Chains A and B, each alone.
Chain A
Amino acid sequence: MENSLKITGAPSLEELHRSPAYPPEDRLKKGPIAIIECIEEIPCNPCEASCPSGAITIGDSITNLPRMDFEKCIACGMCIPACPGLAIYIKDYNYSDTKALLSFPYEYYPLPKVNDIVQAVDRNGNILCTAKVLKVRNLKSNDHTAVITIEYPKEFFEEAVNMKRL
């Protein structure tokens, strides 16, 4: 849907595919990769400094859109809690034969526990499928931004971005 971001509140895949930080299809399905869903020019650049591989570029003008060097990204996850807009997550298409992996920022209580079954949602909050929680990290250094990792069915790969609040 065109202009989905300014009408439904969430970007459509078409809008995201045009962004320099959204991986092209082949890279998206090649292995773990960080995805930044930040497609408006807002004055903000903590993502750039957070990446130890230098894969994220904003540049001198802090309103530039973030650009991702997909070769440099090692999917370490440092950028996930660094983004003040909670716009970054990591996906791995090849986690297993049937499952993909999603690591996303989460700032609600209660936090799920490892092995919990939760509901994965799309960008508009619609429930897609069930997912299993593999990791929950709420490091003090991330200042209350927890990072949750879930495994979920591959067929919802691009749609899933978060879990339904408990």
Chain B
Amino acid sequence: MNRIINHPILDEEKPAKEVLIFVDDKPIVAREGEMIAAALIANGIYVNRYTMHKGKPRGIYCAIGRCTDCIMTVDGVPNIRTCVTEVKEGMRITTQKGAGVWKEEGRQ
């Protein structure tokens, strides 16, 4: 478990509501208001996507929404920067391969 509890400087925050999100169809417990990438790291998931040409794994690099290494497909929309996007109850996240695929409701 990678959540930091009992930090010497940062005081305990009041516990945030837990939300359930799905990563590659696997249910993951996240905290309301946290960034997707943080929720994944808290649960030991470090690979966000695989590159288009060589299929190489990528994970967070800048963590402030500038580099796009952390992008994943979220609720059918690809290329979402997970380090600056908050989790929502029931969110469906998939490890993106390459540029991802747009999946609109009722259309492919």
Contacts and interface: CB of A to CB of B under 8 A. Distances in A.
Describe B's contact surface by its main secondary structure: loop
Contacts, number: 10
B82 to A, nearest CB: 29
B15 interface: no
Interface in B1-39: 6-9
A108 B7 CA distance: 8
Interface residues of B, number: 4
B78 to A, nearest CB: 41
Contacts of A108: 8
Interface in A80-128: 107-110
A85 to B, nearest CB: 15
Interface of B: 6-9
9 contacts: A107-B8, A107-B9, A108-B8, A109-B6, A109-B7, A109-B8, A110-B6, A144-B8, A146-B8
Given A107-B8, A109-B7, A110-B6, 7 more contacts: A107-B9, A108-B8, A109-B6, A109-B8, A144-B8, A144-B9, A146-B8
Interface of A: 107-110, 144, 146
